[in-house]
Structure 1
Amino acid sequence: MAISDVTAYAHLSAGDVEALGLELDAIRSDIQERRGARDATYIRRTITFQRALDAAARLTIELSRGRTGWLAGTAGLALAKSIENMEIGHNVCHGQWDWMNDPEVHSSTWEWDMAGVSAQWRYSHNYRHHIYTNVLGMDDDIGFGVMRVTRDEQWKPGHLLQPLRNLLLAAAFEWGIALHGLYSERDRAEGAAQKAAQTKALLGKIVRQAGKDYLLFPAMSGRRWRRTLAADASANVLRNLWAYVVIFCGHFPDGAEKFEPAVVADETKGEWYLRQMLGTANFDAGPMLAFLSGNLCYQIEHHLFPDLPSNRYAEIALRVRALCEKYDLPYTSGTLLHQYLLTLRTIHKLALPDSFLTATPDDAPETASERKFHGDKVIDAPDNGRPVGRNGLRTALRHAEMSRVAMRRRPIRIDPV
């Protein structure tokens, strides 16, 4: 089932994990010391571009007469909303730009263009998800409460509807995030009054957000209000679908492991770093796709350093990859399509009862633990730039796969009668 000993699963010694943590600390310190005008210019230009794109898209919807203009305007509006939510809102709310001391671009003041309340999301996401990444019972983002993505969750008949739930969540992702943040805040609220205050805050944000998109802008269009209403609704759905794909590809493909609650007891900084590296996944992206995904194609780097500027993740990724080579750790990545197909496979497979599944709970693509290696003797691997003699998780996984292939190819022996 879930991993109960992160160091053992990674096939590293306590000294290795401590050394890994120190090297990651050094990366953090280096980026913090070098951030400055270049980074501030980047986020301010991004905000300016996003606002200009939003305005241009709305003007195109309003002034154009044909279908082509409406489609172009709607696509532009969906793009503007995606950039605001992911490269700006998500990263600003992580505190990536708080060092600028700009009251407008600050985690405590930014309210993003979606149904959820930023403050509620910051608690459910920045704290419960990022601190306790993929820890069962502590990270509510494991399946978002509506999806079974690990065999550690007991199967129920309602999970048969999981493929349909997945489609609904994708189309209405902003509303799922809004409710997710509310429930997290209500969980920590003390007394009925605080719970009611959190509900009121969300209802107020929904009124403002829905009023802007579905009342104010359509009303400003006069007799063409239906055209604007359809564009706003379509842009929101497109934004939801894109955000859903990016987030799911960073957390649910093969290789994004789950952990038992015991792992966080007396967890060292190095072990925390290691858990982030094992619990997340990247997808391959060039500069444009990286920008459109809020640089969350670098989900591993984001979980290691969630408060460092997102425009630095590409250079950080090169250094993290080198550390994975040095410590013989997997660097989970693949094309966006590949990672999403793996995610869909898990969602559809785990909708079924466990009796329909073939792999053991400790050795399944979507759910693994250190127990998958019991009885295996890790073979020596050639040196690939890491210290000689250090065989970590990547070598162990390769050896386990070799053992499985050998077992499948072993001829069946039939004793003579």
Structure 2
Amino acid sequence: MLQAPANAEGGASGTLLAPPRPAARGSEFAPLLKEVKGQGLLERRTGWYARGIAVNLLALAATVTAMALTGDTWWTLLYAVPLAVFWARTAFFGHDAGHAQITRSRRAGRAIGLLHSNLLLGMSYAWWNDKHNRHHANPNHVDKDPDVGVGALVWTEKQAERREGFARWLTRNQARLFFPMLLLEGIALKVYGFQDLRRQPRRERAVEGTLLLVHLAAYASLLLTVLSPGKALVFALLHHALFGLHLGMTFAPNHKGMEMPDADDDGWGHLRRQVLTSRNVRGGPLTDWFLGGLNYQIEHHLFPNVPRPHLRLVQPLVRAHCRAVGIPYAETSLIDSYRQALRHMHAVGAPLRRGGAA
């Protein structure tokens, strides 16, 4: 049964307006796909990505060089900020490679993904792709989307009711703890990758595991060459905290607080399934850069292999099509997207707060 989102508000801003009117299934997405394809927006932008990847690699190299030149001083910790920012760009390129946005070649795409995820970030490309593809297939689905499964946080009152002990306390306070918890995400991503190696086929496990170990060795060698052990540990913790926070700030606005379908809503077509569960973030080039193009979340979910620079060109086509078929198109500011997500998390924990400390 469809669960009402915490942010069901109307207005000209593009936030959720009114319940969608029924429409003929199977006919809603095809005209939009034809239009997007007809304008050449599904074509790859290999040159754009090549330049972007080269600039990001140079920025990473410049940051590492600056760290080495600054040497064993607490001032070197300042470089944790740009390093976290450029690591986030690296994650965005790995994400795009996984969606075949960069190249049609699966082998080349995997190579780019392994470079950016395993080698540069120490995060398993295979683990991320498996999890992320399941999310894209059924976004916000309470039974099928791993991103809204029960974990440190929960996303429905039904999930919250089953919490016990410390997890129950965590759920009662999850809205206020959300951003602090993101500080642990950078380390958690590494842990998840190593845990996933047991699931992977032997050949894939050998490649992924080797690259993860090479990353850890290179990262530790860099820090211990430049800094004393104590400063190196502080730098690593600060760097991973900022990296996790940045990624969390990127992904939090996308679906939290939007519609959460379950088994009763499995008849939704592709257009409704992707649009009703996703939220866009308004902004200009700086927003596009900071969020890696994922501020066009609706367009990305409808056309996951559309190259990042084409998403802003696809947006007016999608918005107009949604208006024509009567489907709400959710778009808001970055700050308000966080507010809506936190409001949803707070509402999920409300029954436990009313129930007291038990």
* Farther-moved stretch of structure 1 (281-290 vs 201-210): 201-210
CA distance in 1, matches of 2:113, 2:90: 16
Q: Is the 8 A contact 2:20 2:328 kept in 1?
A: no
Distance 1:310 1:103 in 2: 18
Matched with 1:323 is 321
C-alpha separation between the residues in 2 aligned to 1:325 and 1:104? 35
Alignment-derived partner of residue 245 in structure 1: 249
3-state SS of 1:297 partner:
coil
Match of 2:142 in 1: 136
Q: Are 1:231 and 2:241 matched, yes or no?
A: no
1:340-386 Cα deviation digits (max 9, x unpaired): 122122223322326849xxxxxxxxxxxxxxxxxxxxxxxxxxxxx
By how many angstroms is 1:42 displaced? 1.1
Q: Does 1:22 pair with 2:24?
A: no
| Structure 1 residue 284 displacement after superposition | 1.3
- TM-score normalized by the length of structure 2: 0.79
Against the structure 1 CA distance between its residues 144 and 83, is the aligned structure 2 distance closer, same or farther, given a 3 Å change threshold? farther
How far off is 1:287 after superposition?
0.9
With structure 1 as the length reference, what TM-score do the two structures score? 0.69
Matches within 5 A, 1:140-155: 140-143=146-149, 145-155=151-161
Question: Do the aligned residues in 2 keep the contact of 1:174 with 1:240 (CA within 8 Å)?
Answer: yes
Q: What is the number of residues matched between the two proteins?
A: 334
Structure 1 pair 257/330, CA: closer, same or farther in 2 (3 Å)?
same
- What is the CA distance between 1:205 and its match in structure 2? 5.6
Change (3 A) 1:159 1:207: farther
Alignment of 1:231-380 (within 5 A): 231-253=235-257, 256-264=258-266, 267=267, 271-353=269-351, 356=354
Q: Which residue of 2 aligns with 1:11?
A: 21
Query: Are the equivalent residues in 2 in contact too, given 1:144–1:180 (CA < 8 A)?
Result: no
CA separation of 1:92 and 1:31: change in aligned 2, threshold 3 A: farther
Shift of 1:204: 5.5
Q: Secondary structure at the match of 1:296?
A: coil
Structure 2: segments with no counterpart, 5+ residues? 5-17
Measured in 2, the distance between the counterparts of 1:136 and 1:108 equals 28
Find the aligned partners of 1:195 and 1:168 in 2 and give their Cα distance: 35
CA contact (8 A) 2:288 2:294 kept: yes
Alpha-carbon spacing, 1:52–1:312, altered in 2? closer, same or farther (3 Å): same
User: What is residue 124 of structure 2 aligned with on the other side?
Assistant: 117
Partner of 2:2: 2
Work out whether residues 248 and 340 of structure 1, in 8 Å CA contact, stay in contact via their aligned partners in 2: yes
How far apart, in 2, do the equivalents of 1:9 and 1:198 lie? 45
- Higher alpha-carbon Rg: 1
* Higher RCO (C-alpha 8 Å, min separation 6): 2
Q: Which amino acid aligns with 2:169?
A: L
Query: What is the CA distance between 1:103 and its match in structure 2?
Result: 2.7
For structure 1, the 5+ residue unaligned runs are: 358-417
Cross-structure match for 2:99: 94
How many Å apart are 1:250 and its aligned residue?
A: 0.4
Contact 1:182 1:198 in 2 (8 A): no
Measured on the aligned residues, the alpha-carbon RMSD in Å equals 3.5
Indicate how the Cα distance of structure 1 residues 272 and 180 shifts in structure 2: closer, same or farther if over 3 A, else same: farther
Could you report, residue by residue, the CA deviation over 1:310-354 in whole angstroms, capped at 9, with x for unpaired residues? 111111111111112222322112111111122122223322326
Match for residue 184 of structure 2 among 172, 176, 201: 172
Counterpart of 1:49, as a letter, is: V
Residues in 1 aligned to 2:217 and 2:110: alpha-carbon distance in whole angstroms: 24
